[in-house]
Amino acid sequence: MGKPTRIIDFHQHVFWHGRDDAGLAGNLDEHGIEKAVLLSWDVTELELTQAYENVFNPVHARAGGRVPGLPLSDVVRAVRRYPDRFIAGYCPHPLGPHAIEHLEAAIRMHQVRVCGEWKACVLLDDPRCLNLFRFCGRQHLPVVFHIDVPYRPDAQTGRPTFCKEWYGGTMDNVERAVAACPETVFVGHGPGFWRYISGDAEAAPEGYPSGKVAPGGALIRVLDACPNLCADLSAGSGRNALQRDLEHAREFLLKYHRRLLFGRDDYDGMLHQFLQSLELPQEAAENIYHANAERLLRMQP
C-alpha cells in the first residue's frame, strides 16, 4: 500500500544547481517521475542576495555579476525541448507595473499553467499581489508561493530579529490573501510557511524548527478555514515539518491528502523515501503524488 502509480513533481526548477534541462529530465527518470512543473523566480536588483548566486544560471549574469533569479526564458527552453516531461510555470514580480500583462502573454504564448514561484520581499496580501492573484483565479492558474518570515526571536533574548531574506510575511498575511481571493487556488511552500504547522511557531528561533508539533498551529487553522489553500511538500521545509513529529505527520497527511502535493524543489529522493516509510493508504498516496496535481492542472489522468 502507498506506492503511487504515477509521480508528478509539482515544484521544480531548471538550469540551476548545476543541472540543465537534459540533466533534469535524466533525474526524473532516475526517480521514476513522469512530469515536473518548472517554476520561475523573478528577482529584482533590490532583492538579490548572495545565498543563491552559486546555484543560478550564470548565463543570465548582469553587469556586476548578479543573476536575476530563474527567468521564464529557461523554463520555455526546457519545455520546448521536453514537452512530454515539463509543464511551464511563471510568476512575474508582483510589483511590476505590467505583471498581469506579462503573465497573460506567457499563458497565451508559452502555455503557462501555473503562476509560480511567487517569492518576493513583499507582503503576500499587498493589494498589487491580490490583483495578480485574482487574475490567476479567473485564468484557473494555481499560485505557488514561498513564505519566509521577516522576524524570528533571538535564541538568547527572545527579541524579534530581522531576517534579511524574508518573503511574503507571516501566516496572517497568508490567511488574508487566501481569504481575499476565494476563486484562486494557492499552494503554500517554504520554511516560513511550514513552521506554522506547530502552535509554537512564533517562539521558534530556528529557520527549520524541530521537536514535537504543538497544538494550535496557524497552518492547520488556515487550511481548515480556507478550502482554496493547498501546500506542496517540497524541499527541506515540507519534509522537516513532517519528520519532526511522525505521529502528527501521518495524521496530517491523512486529513489533508486532497490538498497536498508531492514536490522536490531539488533533485534528491528524500521526500519520496520518507513518504514511503509511512505506508499511507493507496488513495492518500495517489492524491499526494499525482491526482491533486492533475486536478489543479486540469490534466486527464
Residue among 259, 287, 261, 191 at smallest CA distance from 37: 261
177 CB contacts (<8 Å, ≥6 apart)?
124, 125, 129, 130, 133, 186
Q: pLDDT, tens digit, for every residue of 25-83?
A: 999 999 999 999 999 999 988 886 667 777 777 777 665 667 778 999 999 999 999 99
Domain segments of the chain: what residues?
Answer: 8-297
Q: pLDDT, tens digit, for every residue of 155-204?
A: 999 999 999 999 999 999 999 999 999 999 999 999 999 999 999 999 99
**pTM of the entire structure?**
0.96
Query: If phi over 0 gives left and psi between -120 and 50 gives alpha, with beta otherwise, what is residue 289?
Result: alpha
201 CB contacts (<8 Å, ≥6 apart)?
171, 195, 209, 217, 218
Q: For residue 161, what pLDDT is reported? A: 96
Q: pLDDT, tens digit, for every residue of 71-118?
A: 999 999 999 999 999 999 999 999 999 999 999 999 999 999 999 999
189 CB contacts (<8 Å, ≥6 apart)?
11, 117, 144, 145, 146, 147, 231, 232, 234, 235, 237, 238, 263, 265
Q: pLDDT, tens digit, for every residue of 115-129?
A: 999 999 999 999 999
Measured CA to CA in angstroms, residue 50 lies from 57, 80, 118, 200 at distances of 14, 31, 19, 30
For residue 212, how many other CB atoms are within 10 A of its CB? 12
Q: pLDDT, tens digit, for every residue of 209-246?
A: 999 999 999 999 999 999 999 999 999 999 999 999 99
CA 94 from chain centre, in angstroms, equals: 16
Residue among 39, 38, 60, 31 at smallest CA distance from 48: 60
DSSP letters spanning the chain: ----S--EEEEE-SSBTTB-HHHHHHHHHHTT--EEEE--EE--GGG--GGGTTTS-GGG--TTS---EE-HHHHHHHHHH-TTTEEEB----TTSTTHHHHHHHHHHHH---BEEEE--SSBTT-HHHHHHHHHHHHTT--EEEE-B-SEEE-TTT--EEE-SS-BB--HHHHHHHHHH-TTS-EEEESHHHHGGGSTTGGG--SSS--SPPPS--HHHHHHHH-TTEEEE--HHHHHHHHHT-HHHHHHHHHHHTTTEE---SSS--HHHHHHHHTT--HHHHHIIIIIHHHHHHT---
User: In CATH, which superfamily holds the domain spanning 8-297?
Assistant: Metal-dependent hydrolases (3.20.20.140)
254 versus 62: the higher-pLDDT residue is: 254
